[in-house]
Amino acid sequence: MSPRFLASAALIGTFLVIQPFRPYVVSGTSMSTTFASGQIVLGNVRSEQVARGDVVVFRRDGETMIKRVVYLPNDRMEQFFVADEWKAPVNRLVYRTMATHGFPRRNYAIPEGYLYVIGDNRDESVDSREFGPIKLSDVVAVVPGGGSEDYSWFAGVHETAQAVALL
């Protein structure tokens, strides 16, 4: 191998190691309409801050998944008792319906070091409503921009896309 090739390979390898962004391919429909299945997103692997509304890439049970953060550590949320299970409301209409029809409810605090995540396509998403809050330490990247939906209503009320790493 030529010295020029080795130098180029070393330079490219160094760039890939030190860059803060990593590409992920969205697989599934749980994040539509924000991200389509097959779409490539860039995740910031060096981000130390996670905010409500951010889209995060995380690992869970050996899978890499992508979801939106709706509750942060110590946030409080309301859950309703439906069909023998405690469930979080999936949208404003469901919340209002459950609240006005007398479903038993409780307040739940997100534990320190955990996040509550859902998919933007709530009908097609397996998320914290199914598997509970995720560990903050399981987040491997934050997707800058994170789409444009307004999730501010979750703060007052207190879903399965997978992401495949390309590198």
6 found inside a domain? no
Q: What is the pLDDT of residue 48?
A: 82
Q: Which of the residue ranges 14-18, 98-102, 134-138, 161-165 would you say has the lowest mean pLDDT?
A: 161-165
Counted domains in the chain: 1
Higher per-residue pLDDT: 125 or 159: 125
Look at residue 2 and tell me if it is in a domain.
no
CATH number, residue 96: 2.10.109.10
Count CB-CB contacts under 10 A for residue 36: 11
Other residues' Cβ atoms within 10 Å of the Cβ of residue 89: 22
Question: Nearest 10 degrees: CA dihedral of 153, 63, 57, 79?
Answer: 20
* pLDDT-based confidence at residue 56 (cuts at 50, 70, 90): very high
152 lies in some domain: yes
Which residue type occupies 3? P
What does the pLDDT look like over 145-158, one tens digit per residue? 875 444 444 444 33
Question: What is the Cα–Cα distance from 119 to 111, expressed in whole angstroms?
Answer: 20
Q: Is a pLDDT exceeding 90 seen at residue 138?
A: yes
Note the pLDDT of residue 30. 92
Residue 14 lies in a domain: no
Spatial separation of the C-alpha atoms in residues 128 and 117, rounded to whole Å? 5
What is the DSSP pairing of strand 63-71 with strand 114-118? antiparallel
Task: Return d(Cα 129, Cα 138) in angstroms, integer.
Answer: 17
**Residue 5 domain-assigned?**
no
Structure tokens at 143: 């997707």
Residue-level pLDDT at 158? 35
Tell me if 7 is assigned to some domain.
no
Residue at 12 is within a domain: no
User: Quick check: is 4 in a domain?
Assistant: no
| 99 vs 34, more confident | 34
Cβ atoms of 74 and 155 closer than 8 Å: no
Domain extent at residue 143: 20-165
Q: Residues 78-135: pLDDT tens digits?
A: 665 555 665 665 555 555 555 555 655 667 788 999 998 989 888 888 988 888 899 9
